[in-house]
A and B are shown apart, each in its own frame.
Chain A
Amino acid sequence: MAYLIFSLSLLLIYIGLAQMLHVQFGLLGIPNFGVVGFWGLGMYAVGIMQVQLDMSFVDAMVLNALLLAAVSYGLGHLILRLERQAILCATIAFSAIVALLAVTEKWMTMGVVGLGTIRQPFRIFGIEEILFFIFLLILIIGIQFYILKLHKSRLGRLMIATRDNEELAASLGKDTFRVKLIAFTLTSAIMGILGGLSAPLNQFLTPNMIVPSITFAVWISLVLGGKEHALGSMLGVFVTFGLFDILIETYAPVSPEFAVLVPNVKLFLYGALLVGVLVFRPSGLLDQRTPSDAVVGTLGRGVLKGAVAIHQGVTKGVATVQGKIEHRKKGGGT
C-alpha cells in the first residue's frame, strides 16, 4: 500500500513534467531535452537546503522556485533565440552539467554517497504519505485546468502562432521572444518545483537519479499521448509510466529470473513505441483537436458545403429559367 502511494505520487510528478513539456514543445515548439536537469536541480536544491542548511520545507521550496526561475531565465536568454536543434543540444548539455555537478560538488551534495534523509513536509504520523499524495493530486489537477484554459485563451493562440510561424507572429507586433522567455522560465521553474517535491518522496538522493532516461520517458509520454493536445501528456504518462512501471513492474506475476529483465524490456518497448508512433501516427494518440472540435468541424464543413451546393443550384436554376425566358422572348420577337 505504501509502495502504491509512492508509485502514484511519482506518476503525478511525471504527469506534471509532461504537462510542462507540453507547454514548452506542444504549444511553443521549444524542444527542451533537459527536463531531468531542471527536475534534478530542484530536487537537489531542496535536499541540500533541508539537510545541509536545516531549513523548513516551505522555505526550501520558495527559495528553490526562485533559484530555478533565475537559472531558467538565464539559460532561456542564452538559447531561446537559437534554432530548434541548437536549443535541443543546449538543454541536453545543461542537464548533463547538472548531473555532473551532483557528483563533483561533494561538499554540498555528498557526491555518490548520497544525500539524506529528507523529511516529509506533513508531519502527521501514519498518513503523511497520503496527505502528500493528495497535495500533489490537487496541484496536478490545478495545472491541468490551467492548461485547458490556456488552450482557449489569447495567450495560448499567441503561443501556437509563435510555434508555427514566428516571423509572422512577430510581424503582427507580438514580442515572440518575450513570450517564449517568460513561458520557458515559468515552466522550467515548475519542473524544478516538481523536482523539489520529489525530494521528500525519494528521501535519499543520489546522482544516478539524474539520468537522461527520465527526460526521454517524459518525451515519450508526451509524443505518445499527443503533444499538441491538452490532455495528451496525462494520457501518455498513464500509458507509459502507469502501465509499465506500476502495473507490470509491481503487480504482474513475473518469475524472479525474468524480473531483472523487466526494466530493460520496458525501455526497449518505450523506444519501439516512440518509433512506431512517429512513423505511423506523428500527432500521437490524441490529435490536437478535441473530439468535439472535430465533430463541430465536420458538421460545419457539411453545412457549408450544403449551403454552397444549394446556392450554386439556385443560381444555375435561376440562370436556366432566365435563359429560357430570354429565349422565349427572342423567339416571340421573331
Chain B
Amino acid sequence: MWLIRDSIFIGLLEASPLILAAMGFTLIYYLNGFINFAYGESITFGAYFAVLFNVGLGLNFYFAILPAALLAGALSVATYLFIFKPALNRGVQPSEMIILSVGLSFMLRYGLVLFVGAENTYLAEPPVAFFNFAGMGATNLQLIALILVIIFALNLYWLIYKTGYGEVIRGLANNEELAQVSGINPHKVSVRVWFIAGVAGGLSGIFSGVFALANPQMGWNLILITIMVSIVAGVGSVRGALFASIVAGILTSFITLISKPLYAEVVLLMAFILILWRRGGRIA
C-alpha cells in the first residue's frame, strides 16, 4: 500500500516538467501536424533564460520565472516564423519537417554550448524548506512547481476546451481551408499557439532546473519521453497529454521504487512501441 501511495506522490511531484512539456508539444503537433524536436530547445532555453535573470542579473528566483518563460515563448515563435513556416509553405513533407526540426535543435543546442559551455549550471534557489505529509516529504520548491503547473494546466485546458479562442485553434488544426473561409487568420492563431507552447516548454525547463540543474542536453533528454507521452495520449488531445504525463510520472516512480530508474525508462519505451503497434498505424 505504501508503495502505491509513495509512487503516486513522488510521481506527481516529479511529473510537473513532463506535464507542461507534453501539453505544449501537443499543441504544436495538433496545429501543424509534425513532430517538433526543436521543442526540446524551448525547454533548455527556458532554464537558461531563468539562469540569466536569476544568476546573471541577480533577480529573485520567483521573479525570474516570468520573463524567462516569456522569452522561451518568443524563441518558439521565432523558430516558427523563420524556419518552420517557410518550410511548411514550400510543402515540405512531415517526415522531412521532423529532420528539419532535428537540425534546428542541433543548431540551437550547440549554439548555446558555444556561448555558455557544456557544464552544468545551477539556479540560485530560495532557501529550501521541507514539508511533511503523513510520512512523505516534499520541498517548498517542489510544491510551488506543482501548484504553478496545476494553475497553468487548468488555464490551458480552459483555453482550449471552454473558450471561443480554443474553438478557433481546434478549427484551424482540423481544417485550415474551412477555418480561413470562416474568417480565422491562420497566421495570427499559429503565432499565438507557438508562443503558448514555448512558454509551457520554458516553464518545464525552469522546473526541471529547480529539481536538479540546467545543462544544454536537458531538453533533448526530456523531448523523447514528451513525444512518447503526447503520441500515446492521442495527438491533439491536450487533456490526454495531461493525463498521460501524470500516468507516466506515477509509473516511472513506481518502477523506480521497485527496481532501478533506468529500467523504468526501458519499460516505458517498450510499452510505447507495443502501444504504437496495437494501434495499427493511426498515430492519433
Chain A residues with a Cβ under 8 A of chain B: 29, 31, 75, 78-79, 81-86, 88-90, 92-94, 96-97, 100-101, 103-104, 212, 216, 219-220, 223, 261, 264-265, 267-268, 270-275, 278-279, 282
Cβ B99 vs Cβ A219 within 8 A: yes
Bound form: Cα–Cα A94–B228 in Å? 12
Interchain residue pairs with CB less than 8 A apart (13):
A78-B276, A81-B280, A82-B279, A90-B276, A93-B272, A94-B269, A104-B260, A104-B263, A268-B113, A270-B103, A274-B102, A274-B103, A278-B103
Point out which of A78, A90, A212, A220 has the most chain B C-beta atoms below 10 A from its C-beta.
A90
The yes or no answer to B87 lying at the interface (CB within 8 A) is yes
Closest to A261 in B: B114
Closest to A78 in B: B277
Looking at B104-112, B180-188, B248-256, the stretch in contact with chain A turns out to be B104-112
Cβ A268 vs Cβ B110 within 8 A: yes
Sorted nearest first, the 3 A-B pairs with minimum C-beta distance are A274-B103, A271-B106, A271-B107
Interface string of B266-278 (1 = CB under 8 A from A): 1001101110110
Output the least CB separation between B173 and chain A (Å).
16
The yes or no answer to B95 lying at the interface (CB within 8 A) is yes
B260 / chain A contacts, CB cutoff of 8 Å: 104
Contact of A268 among B114, B262, B273, B276 (CB under 8 A): B114
Cβ B276 vs Cβ A274 within 8 A: no
The yes or no answer to B283 lying at the interface (CB within 8 A) is yes
Bound form: Cα–Cα A1–B16 in Å? 52
Specify the main secondary structure of chain A where it touches its partner: helix
Bound form: Cα–Cα A299–B98 in Å? 37
Point out which of A84, A219, A271 has the most chain B C-beta atoms below 10 A from its C-beta.
A271
The yes or no answer to B147 lying at the interface (CB within 8 A) is no
A83 / chain B contacts, CB cutoff of 8 Å: 281-283
Cβ B95 vs Cβ A89 within 8 A: no
Closest to B98 in A: A88
A271 / chain B contacts, CB cutoff of 8 Å: 102-110
Q: Tell me whether A282 and B92 are in contact in the complex, defined as CB-CB below 8 angstroms, given that A96-B265, A219-B99 are known contacts.
A: yes
Contacts A275-B100, A279-B87, A282-B90 known; list 15 others, CB within 8 Å: A82-B280, A83-B282, A83-B283, A85-B94, A85-B95, A93-B269, A100-B265, A103-B262, A104-B262, A104-B266, A261-B114, A264-B114, A271-B108, A279-B83, A279-B90
Cβ A97 vs Cβ B110 within 8 A: no
Size of chain B's interface in residues, with CB distance under 8 A?
48
B269 / chain A contacts, CB cutoff of 8 Å: 93-94, 96-97, 100
Output the least CB separation between A65 and chain B (Å).
23
Bound form: Cα–Cα A273–B106 in Å? 10
Closest to B34 in A: A85
B107 / chain A contacts, CB cutoff of 8 Å: 268, 271-272, 275
Q: Tell me whether A223 and B266 are in contact in the complex, defined as CB-CB below 8 angstroms, given that A82-B276, A267-B106 are known contacts.
A: no
Bound form: Cα–Cα A279–B89 in Å? 10
Output the least CB separation between B135 and chain A (Å).
30
A273 / chain B contacts, CB cutoff of 8 Å: 103
A92 / chain B contacts, CB cutoff of 8 Å: 224
Output the least CB separation between B175 and chain A (Å).
20
Closest to B106 in A: A271
Point out which of B34, B90, B106, B279 has the most chain A C-beta atoms below 10 A from its C-beta.
B106
Q: Tell me whether A85 and B281 are in contact in the complex, defined as CB-CB below 8 angstroms, given that A93-B228, A93-B273 are known contacts.
A: no
Output the least CB separation between A259 and chain B (Å).
14
Bound form: Cα–Cα A223–B98 in Å? 12
Cβ A79 vs Cβ B273 within 8 A: yes
Cβ B265 vs Cβ A78 within 8 A: no
Bound form: Cα–Cα A87–B220 in Å? 19
Contact of A264 among B90, B118, B276 (CB under 8 A): B118
Cβ B231 vs Cβ A89 within 8 A: yes
Interface string of B30-53 (1 = CB under 8 A from A): 000011000000000000000000
B87 / chain A contacts, CB cutoff of 8 Å: 278-279
Interface string of B164-184 (1 = CB under 8 A from A): 000000000000000000000
